[in-house]
Amino acid sequence: MSWPTNSRLLASTPTRRTDPVLGVAAAQFAPTDDRARNLAEIEGLARLAAERGAGLVVLPEYSSWFVPELGPAWLDHAEPQSGPFVAGLGRIADDLGVHLVAGMAGVSSEPGKVSNEVVAVAPGAGVVATYRKLHLYDAFGGRESDWVEAGDLRDPQLFEVSGFRVGLQTCYDLRFPEVTRWLVDAGAEVVLMPAEWVRGPLKESHWDTLIKARAIENTVWLAAADHPPKVGVGHSMVVDPMGVQLASVGEEPRGVALAWLDRERLREVRTTNPSLRLRRFRVEPGPPATD
């Protein structure tokens, strides 16, 4: 497949420090109801990022298969992690030598529902971490729980790339600060977030504010990949531990935001802002609050 000429890559300047660095890319595209087409888009974006030095690429929520309205068709297109979508991700990761993280419609154990999943695939190793969406989007007029099974509260699965420990969450989880703190308590230094952040009044502002807040309060890098308009707000981005937006795609229909991460920056930020060390509360998974 030839790559469209209107695709672009926005990148921060590579660090010149002596610590190991990691190129992280947030890739933005509009998944469709055609798995093969989605994989071709993913391959093009991942290749673009890899050619510029990325070793880790995060893609949107429901990258495997997507239509704007949840319904019975989703049940027919949900896949196990042993299915063709994850196999396709593995082939791309192997070919390009990059780690890929993508959302997918997975098979649920609950009849009549799908599982909103995120998979991390490493070159030569296959799936190295998985995540199931904890908080379902029953807000702003949506009813995700009618068709999606919530993930279990279990210890987070982290994976390592170039010495950086990476955690996973997705979309609506961004509105719950406990999720990111839970990942950081497990050792995450980089948090990746596939999303399908639905457009609406003030939604773009919420997206920008909450991504930067989660990065600042946890002193971690956060890379978020969204669907572009008209369904999502776009603005896939990479943010540093001080909340500085290093790169963003904006409203483009497809593109890659690439930034370089280095451990010296993390040490500097956590020395200047030792909020994790000074906090007096901890986060523990538990039952939902009652009305």
Classify residue 23 by burial, with Cβ atoms within 10 Å: 0-12, 13-18, 19+.
Answer: buried
How far is the C-alpha of 161 from the C-alpha of 253, rounded, in Å?
28
- Catalytic entry in 133, 144, 189, 204: 133
Please list, in sequence order, all residues whose beta carbon lies within 8 angstroms of the beta carbon of residue 290, skipping any fewer than 6 positions away: none
Active-site residue, selected from the candidate residues 79, 113, 144, 171: 171
Would you call 203 a catalytic residue per the annotation?
no
Active-site residue flag, 217: no
On whether the CB atoms of residues 81 and 66 are closer than 8 A, the answer is: no
Q: Which among 43, 61, 189, 252 is annotated as catalytic?
A: 61
Our answer to whether residue 178 is catalytic in this structure is no
* CA pair distance 10, 29, nearest whole angstrom: 14
Q: Are 46 and 100 in contact (CB under 8 A)?
A: yes
Alpha helices in 52-202 (DSSP H): 72-77, 84-96, 177-185
Q: Which helix (H) or strand (E) holds 267?
A: helix 263-272
Q: Which residues are catalytic?
A: 61, 133, 171
